[in-house]
Structure 1
Amino acid sequence: MKEDDIVGILESDDVKDVKPLNDQVLIKVAEASDKTEADLILTETTKEKPSIGILYPVGPGSLDEEGKRQPLSVSPGSTVLYSKYAGGEFKGADGTN
């Protein structure tokens, strides 16, 4: 494992206590809709994974060539749109993503 593979530090079983490193962020994914616009009920397997979420903690930013921190342009509480295949899933002790 390389240092670049480490995303954050988990200091307890609560996902909100994750401390992201460098330019990493933790996103609370929005809930997927249970129905379509035509009121058809969707099963768990047919629900599309949302690509919108709210930022929880964010890392301090990456280091530039001179070793200075470049802070992220987003902050905790921001609503973000992210790539469908970005990041990895993480479940807390209570089962939330």
Structure 2
Amino acid sequence: MAKKFVYVPAPGRVIVRPLEEGEQRTTGGIVIPDSAKERPSLGEVVAVGEGRLLDNGQRAKVFVEPGMKVLYGKYSGNEFKFGGQEYLILRDDDIMAWQK
């Protein structure tokens, strides 16, 4: 039985499950290592904190919701494991794009 996800992100934070991107090769068949890739990473949103607090006392709008696929910077966020699965805690402004 899978463990129930128990983490709730702090305001302005999003928890993402990174998705496998598959091995990349050049047209000549050379495998491109992860360290040489300069593209965003893909993940699925698992949990979303409330909007971060703005200087005027209001909360920022949250644009993503659980289940959405998002692109984020390769070196963004902090990693952690839960139930044998890797996750990332990202700042909401580390997300560059999302699928509707």
Give the TM-score of the pair, scaled to structure 2.
Answer: 0.62
Find the aligned partners of 2:24 and 2:59 in 1 and give their Cα distance. 44
Question: Identity of counterpart residues, as a percentage?
Answer: 32
Task: Select the structure that is richer in strand.
Answer: 2
1:85 maps to: 75
Which structure 2 residue ranges, 5 or more long, are not aligned?
A: 87-100
Q: CA contact under 8 A between 1:15 and 1:91: conserved in structure 2? A: no
2:17 maps to: 28
Which structure 1 residue ranges, 5 or more long, are not aligned?
A: 1-13
Q: 2:48 aligned with 1:58, yes or no?
A: yes
1:18-41 deviations in whole A, cap 9, x for unaligned?
100111000011024268588x8x
Find the aligned partners of 1:28 and 1:15 in 2 and give their Cα distance. 14
Task: State which of 34, 57, 64 in structure 2 corresponds to 1:48.
Answer: 34
Q: Decide whether aligned partners of structure 1 residues 85 and 15 sit closer, same or farther in structure 2, where only a CA change above 3 A counts.
A: farther
Q: CA contact under 8 A between 2:14 and 2:45: conserved in structure 1? A: yes
1:67: Cα distance to partner?
Answer: 1.4
Give the TM-score of the pair, scaled to structure 1.
Answer: 0.64
Number of residues paired by the alignment?
78
What do you get for the CA RMSD once the two structures are aligned? 2.7
